[in-house]
Amino acid sequence: MIVVGALALLLLTAAVVVLFAMVGELSTRIPVPADDPGVASHSDFIAGAVMNDWPEALGGLAHRRSATVLVLSSICSTCNSVADELANYRPEKLADIGVVVSCGVAQVGEDFVGQHSIGHLPHLVDAGGSWVSTNFGVKTSPTALRFQDGVLVEAYSFSRLEPLLGRISTVLEGVS
């Protein structure tokens, strides 16, 4: 009887761990029709956030005049499409872009990076989504975070990469 009880407790514990891993995943997805090329300002972020201690994987972006971090999730179909788009760009076109992959467990994030061939980009696997949500207040994906001199100045919700890059380019022309 004790063995059965111990086994039941073990299974219950495993179920709770899996549940928390799934809850840790970025919880909200932005429903955008596949044919909508829109880019919209995203209001749910911490404007003015400064990341004093960037993770090593994204550290090269910390001191750029302008940098963009794309927040993608391993379970978001739009994010999968965006990741496929990223793989088709020349590296010099994406020189100021990094990627954060939010996922339940690190291996799933690493698999996402490999599956979409985006390992050449600066990227961080954010198991549980805590890094991006704690530092920048972002809990949705896909989201683009635009930094100016290390300060988070804008965030965008988007469904396709090309319109996003166009929007960022237009904004930067006004900043120069």
Domain limits, the chain: 25-175
Rounded CA separation 44/156 (Å) = 10
Q: What is the pLDDT of residue 18?
A: 43
Residue 112: half-sphere exposure toward Cβ, Cα within 13 Å: 29
Instruction: Give the distance, in angstroms, between the CA of residue 70 and the centroid of all CA atoms in the same chain.
Output: 5
Under DSSP, is residue 164 helix (H, G, I), strand (E, B) or coil? Answer: helix
Decide: 42 and 134 in contact? Cβ < 8 Å.
Answer: no
Residue 95 CB contacts under 8 Å (≥ 6 apart), including other chains: none
Give the CATH number of domain 25-175; options: 2.160.20.10, 1.10.3470.10, 3.30.1360.200, 3.40.30.10.
3.40.30.10
Q: What is the pLDDT of residue 92?
A: 82
Rounded CA separation 107/129 (Å) = 14
Q: What is the pLDDT of residue 10?
A: 58
Q: What is the pLDDT of residue 100?
A: 96
- Write out the DSSP string of 77-93: HHHHHHHHHHHTS-GGG
Residue 161 CB contacts under 8 Å (≥ 6 apart), including other chains: 82, 85, 86, 89
Q: Give the strand pairing for 97-103 and 123-127.
A: parallel
2 token code pair: 């004790």
3-state secondary structure string across 36-59? CCCEEECCCCCCCCECCCCCHHHH
Rounded CA separation 107/77 (Å) = 18
| Sequential pLDDT tens for the chain (176 residues) | 786 665 656 556 554 444 444 444 444 444 444 445 578 887 888 887 887 778 999 988 888 889 999 999 999 999 999 999 999 888 788 889 999 999 999 999 999 999 999 999 999 999 998 899 999 999 999 999 999 988 899 999 999 999 999 888 887 765 54
Q: What is the pLDDT of residue 145?
A: 94
∠54-89-60 over CA atoms, to 5°?
20
